[in-house]
Structure 1
C-alpha cells in the first residue's frame, strides 16, 4: 500500500499580501498556525494561536501583509520581525481543535506568478477553490464541507 498523498494547502500572493488556505472540516477549528523556513534548522518565522474567529473555522487567513507577519483573528506568539523579506518557499503548518496537524511547503514565487480568481488559490497541484482544498479531508458526512 502506498502512502496517502499529503494535504495540499492553498496560497495567493498579491500586492504585498500572502493569503493562505488550509484544509479544514466544518466541525473543526484551526487552533495554531506556524510559518517556518523549509531548510534546516527550520527557523520559525511566525507562530499564532487561540482563534475562535472565521479564520479558525474556514482555514483562510492573511499570513503576511506589507512586510508584517500576521494571521487574521489569531494571537501572535512568536514573530521574527528581523526578516523583512519573504523566502521563495515557506513551510506552513497547523494544529486543529481535534489534535490533527498538517503542513505544506508553499512556493511563494510560483504562487505570485499565478493568477487565481477570487476564492481560488495556487496549490502544488494547480489552482484550486477553497472548497476543493477542504475536500481533501474525509470529513464527517453529516457536516461535510
Structure 2
C-alpha cells in the first residue's frame, strides 16, 4: 500500500505556486474531509474565465446562480 496524500493535510490552507498556464480543460475533484463523499467535473478554463458572475452568485455549468437556486436544483433541504 502506498499513501498518496494524508487527509489531515487538506484541513490546512496555504498558498502555493501558480502554474504559468492552465490546460484548456481542468478536471476538478473534491473529496470532503472525514467522509468518503465528493464531487467533481471537467471545466473549460476559457469559458470559466470569460463568465461574469454577479455578487451573491456562483458560477455553474448552467450559468451563474444564487445559493438558493443551486440548493433547489440539488434538492437540498434546511435541517430546521
Fold conserved (TM > 0.5)? yes
- Give the strand-richer structure, 1 or 2: 1
Q: Which has the higher contact order (CA 8 A, sep 6+)?
A: 1
- How much is the aligned-residue C-alpha RMSD, in angstroms? 3.0
Task: Check 1:82–1:124 CA distance in 2 against 1; reply closer, same or farther (3 A cut).
Answer: closer
Cα displacement (A) at 1:135: 4.4
- Give the helix-richer structure, 1 or 2: 2
Q: Which runs of 5+ in 1 are unaligned?
A: 1-31, 33-47, 52-73
Verify: 1:106 aligned to 2:40, yes or no.
no
* Residue number among 11, 17, 20 corresponding to 1:50 in the alignment: 11
Quick check: 1:50–1:75 contact (8 Å CA) kept in 2?
Answer: no
Normalized against structure 2, the TM-score is what?
Answer: 0.59
Task: Check 1:142–1:130 CA distance in 2 against 1; reply closer, same or farther (3 A cut).
Answer: closer
| SS of residue paired to 1:123 | coil
Task: Check 1:124–1:140 CA distance in 2 against 1; reply closer, same or farther (3 A cut).
Answer: closer
Task: Check 1:129–1:142 CA distance in 2 against 1; reply closer, same or farther (3 A cut).
Answer: same
Structure number, greater radius of gyration: 2
Structure-1 residue corresponding to 2:53: 116
Task: Check 1:88–1:135 CA distance in 2 against 1; reply closer, same or farther (3 A cut).
Answer: farther
In 2, distance between residues paired with 1:99 and 1:140? 21
In 1, distance between residues paired with 2:78 and 2:66? 20
Q: Which runs of 5+ in 2 are unaligned?
A: 1-6
Task: Check 1:116–1:103 CA distance in 2 against 1; reply closer, same or farther (3 A cut).
Answer: same
| SS of residue paired to 1:117 | coil
